[in-house]
Structure 1
Amino acid sequence: MTVRRAWDDLPGAARQEVERTIGTVVKAVSTPGGRNSELSETLWTDSGPVFCKGISTESPISYMHRNEIAVSPYLPADLAPRLRWHFEVGGWLLLGFEHLLGRHADLTPDSSDLPLVADAVTRIGVATVPRTATGEPRRISDQWSRALKREREFPTAPSTDPWTVEHASLLTELADLAPSFMEGSVLIHSDLNPTNFVVSDRAKVVDWAWWQTGAAWFDPAYLVIRLIAEGHDPQSAEKWAQQFEAFTAAPPEAITAFAASAVRLWERRFAHTAATEAARRWAQYRTS
């Protein structure tokens, strides 16, 4: 979790560079949410608003902003906001995005946003995969495997749900299989949740810091958890995801292993969040 800063907290050199690019900032409004940016503000000038996010270049998670810089040129304009500029100045890495009009997605049952969200997920699946600076793909299987390995190093937390404790061996066995099913070459966002969709006449997707390459079923499966968290039962959430061919074609054991791995990854750090409880309900459903 980063410490949020305001526009006026930036060094003078950083603010001057931004204003040389967009004009004098007459109003700065902090945006709620988001855990990975120290600066997250809508900057208003005489030419209109710009969304600006930033982080200290010394932050250990500044790489996440560099991930967004890397992926942005490959994202279609109808899928994600345009990255207008970025630079490092005064010890800060700053990114300026097209300002989107809209609201976060409503994923509750019968929401009219659900078809728009589905359309956005489809567009992610056919987007061009970025080239990284090293030429190596950013594999979700590698990231998931490392995260699961780290979790095994921690003892069971006192807050762990009794069902998770009772079924710890099964969950661990299934979770360990999950990365092997994630291999693939499709662009995936890997963090699709209501706040990462901006909905107007269609849904656009923001916050691409966690983009990866992998199996095409991953993003629809991730959204199953989010749908359950927003009031769907596991069966209806899976039915929604079945509109995606990749989800329907995935081996059943791949989906079960993914649900178990989400529980293993989130239970200790986010024990009582809606997403963790949803992942647990889904794992219970699939292993019952």
Structure 2
Amino acid sequence: MSEGSRWTTTALIDCEKGEFFVKAVPNRPGGLRDSVLREWVVNPFVRPVSPAVQWQAEDGDWVVLGFDRIDGRSADFSPGSSDLPKIIDVLNRISRIPIPEVAGDWEETRWDAFLPEKEIALVRGSDLLYVDVQPDNIMIGSGQTWAVDWEWPTKGAGFISPACFVVQLISGGHSPAAAETWVGNCIAWESADPAAIDAFARANARLQQHLAERFPEESWLAEMATAAEVWADHRLAG
């Protein structure tokens, strides 16, 4: 099986060395190449939350990673799903991973442009962040749950990872209060400053709206923008 987009090609291969999930990106300067190389170097530190990268190869045209093949399905984020406790467990396992030295300068800055300067410090921190918490990136297997696609791990305030999950839950049909009840079981959320969460919710709503306007052909971005706005309004209402 193989699939791809204008950015990334993926495939499952079966060869004399075993079965692998392969991810390949064009070998040219830019964020795409940087992200797959970042995923490669962080992988030893995020196992077994993530499948292991067993090999890396590149030539003048491609950069390729070979992951252990895993058997699983995409997580169900909807209300009442039995997957929700497993997702919380994965987020807590990530929270317990010490920030690796290789990630020391991977400062999370994606929300900076949407925050007042005085609030930027609220999202700074020294935790390893996994922010692409969406159904296709949480794989549910028999006795194991994985977080895949570590293409852009960063360093910042630990509550950001569960905060991103809140928006996904709202998009999946949860009320803001119900979504926050779920993430209340996350270690990083329990110790977070409510003012920092409020600031992040506002900034994230601005970011998601910006992305939806920039890429109007991507309907899922509009859905994320709506969910982010609903959450920000909920936080404002207090």
Q: Check whether TM > 0.5.
A: yes
Following superposition, the deviation at residue 190 of structure 1 comes to: 1.7
Aligned to 1:68: 39
Alignment of 1:1-288 (within 5 A): 29-31=1-3, 37-45=7-15, 48-61=18-31, 62-77=33-48, 79-132=49-102, 136-140=104-108, 142-145=109-112, 148=113, 173=116, 178-200=119-141, 201-271=143-213, 273-288=222-237
| Counterparts of 1:244 and 1:36, CA distance in 2 | 36
Query: Do the aligned partners of residues 199 and 31 (structure 1) sit closer, same or farther apart at CA in structure 2, a change above 3 Å counting?
Result: farther
How many residues align structurally?
Answer: 228
Structure 2 vs 1, CA of residues 279 and 177 (structure 1 numbering), >3 Å: closer, same or farther?
farther
TM-score scaled by length of structure 1: 0.73
Aligned amino acid, residue 240 of structure 1: W
- AA aligned to 1:120 is V
- Deviation, 1:48, is 4.8
Q: Deviations over 1:59-115 (max 9, x none)?
A: 5221001110110111122x1100000021242111100111000110111100001
Alpha-carbon contact 2:27-2:59 (below 8 Å) kept: no
Percent of aligned pairs sharing the same letter: 30
Give the secondary structure class of the aligned counterpart of 1:268: helix
Whose radius of gyration is greater, 1 or 2? 1
After the TM superposition, which of the residue ranges 229-238 and 55-64 deviates more from structure 2?
A: 55-64
Q: Distance in 2 between matches of 1:127 and 1:87?
A: 27
Structure 1 pair 205/177, CA: closer, same or farther in 2 (3 Å)? farther
Q: Is the 8 A contact 2:202 2:232 kept in 1?
A: yes
Contact 1:76–1:127 (Cα < 8 Å) also in 2: no
Alpha carbons 1:75, 1:128 under 8 Å: kept: no
User: Which runs of 5 or more structure 1 residues have no equivalent in the other structure?
Assistant: 1-28, 150-171
Shift of 1:226: 0.5
- The CA RMSD measured in Å over matched residues stands at 2.1
Q: Shift of the alpha carbon at 1:143?
A: 4.0
SS of the counterpart of 1:50?
strand
- Runs of 4+ that moved beyond 4 A: none
1:227-286 Cα distance to aligned partner (Å, 9 max, x none): 001000001101111112431332222111111111111212225532211101101111
Q: Partner residue of 2:217?
A: none
Q: TM-score, normalised by structure 2?
A: 0.88
- Alpha carbons of structure 1 residues 36 and 210: separation in structure 2 relative to 1, 3 Å: farther
Task: Give CA-to-partner distance per residue, 1:9-44, whole Å, 9 cap, x none.
Answer: xxxxxxxxxxxxxxxxxxxx1247xx7842111123
Residues 1:120 and 1:178: Cα distance change in structure 2 (over 3 Å): farther
Residue matched to 2:218: none
How far apart in 1 are the matches of 2:187 and 2:134?
A: 21
Unmatched segments (≥5 aa) in structure 2 = 214-220
